[in-house]
C-alpha cells in the first residue's frame, strides 16, 4: 500500500484562517513542566489509531531530553477539565516552528474541536519567539500529514491557511 505524505507550510501569520468557535468551551493550556509520562499519554492516546509509532520506543530520558529543548512546547485542549487533544510545537530550528504533532483523542473527534484547536496551535506557533527570546522569531510554520492520519487532517490544515509545498509517496 502506498503511503502519501504532504508537507505544508504557512509563511505569513496573516494567512491563518480561524475556524469557527466550537459549541463547547475549550481551554487551551501549555504544559509548561516537561512531563514524559503526560506527553507519552497524549502521543499514544491521539496517535494510536493513526499508526504513530516513531516514539513508542523512547525511554523516559529520551522524552525528557526532547521536551526540555528550548522552543519545544506542548499545548493541550481541555473541555470541562478533560484533555481533548494536543499540539506539539518544535521551534528549535532558527526562524521556523514545526507543528510536530497535532490531533484529538478519539472520543472528541467529530465535535467541531479540531479546527479550533488547530487555530489555537498556529497562533501559539507564531508567538513562540515571545516565550523563547533567545530563539529567532518564526518566519514559517510547517508540518506534515499522511494517508495514515485522519482523512480530514489535510483539509483542516488547508482550511487554516497552510499550503502544500511537497508531496512524497513511499
Find the CATH number of the domain harbouring 151: 3.40.630.30
Percent of the chain with pLDDT over 90: 98
Cα 163-164-169 angle, rounded to 5 deg: 170
Global pTM reads 0.96
Written as nine digits, the cell of 98 is 514545526
In this prediction, residue 140 carries a pLDDT of 98
Instruction: Centre a 10 Å sphere on the Cβ of residue 109 and count the other Cβ atoms it contains.
Output: 16
CB contact at 8 A, 142 and 10:
yes
In this prediction, residue 24 carries a pLDDT of 94
Task: Provide the domain limits for residue 76.
Answer: 4-169
User: Above 90 in pLDDT, residue 27?
Assistant: yes
Find the mean pLDDT for residues 77-89.
Answer: 98
Find the mean pLDDT for residues 121-147.
Answer: 96
Strands 140-146 and 96-104: parallel
Confidence of residue 20 (pLDDT cuts 50, 70, 90): very high
In this prediction, residue 69 carries a pLDDT of 97
CB contact at 8 A, 79 and 104:
no
Domain count for the chain, please give it. 1
CA distance 99 to 118: 10
Instruction: Centre a 10 Å sphere on the Cβ of residue 4 and count the other Cβ atoms it contains.
Output: 13
Find the mean pLDDT for residues 122-145.
Answer: 96
User: Above 90 in pLDDT, residue 1?
Assistant: no
Amino acid at each position: 500500500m502506498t503511503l502519501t505524505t504532504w508537507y505544508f507550510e504557512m509563511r505569513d501569520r496573516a494567512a491563518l484562517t480561524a475556524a469557527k468557535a466550537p459549541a463547547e468551551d475549550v481551554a487551551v493550556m501549555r504544559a509548561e513542566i516537561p512531563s514524559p509520562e503526560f506527553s507519552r499519554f497524549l502521543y499514544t492516546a491521539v496517535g494510536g489509531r493513526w499508526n504513530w509509532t516513531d516514539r513508542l520506543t523512547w525511554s523516559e530520558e529520551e522524552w525528557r531530553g526532547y521536551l526540555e529543548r528550548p522552543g519545544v512546547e506542548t499545548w493541550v485542549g481541555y473541555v470541562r477539565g478533560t484533555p481533548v487533544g494536543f499540539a506539539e510545537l518544535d521551534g528549535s530550528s532558527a526562524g521556523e516552528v514545526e507543528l510536530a504533532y497535532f490531533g484529538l483523542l478519539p472520543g472528541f473527534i467529530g465535535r467541531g474541536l479540531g479546527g479550533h484547536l488547530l487555530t489555537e496551535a498556529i497562533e501559539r506557533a507564531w508567538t513562540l519567539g515571545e516565550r523563547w527570546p533567545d530563539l529567532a522569531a518564526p518566519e514559517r510554520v510547517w508540518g506534515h500529514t499522511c494517508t495514515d492520519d485522519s482523512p480530514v487532517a489535510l483539509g483542516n490544515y488547508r482550511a487554516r491557511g497552510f499550503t502544500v509545498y511537497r508531496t512524497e509517496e513511499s
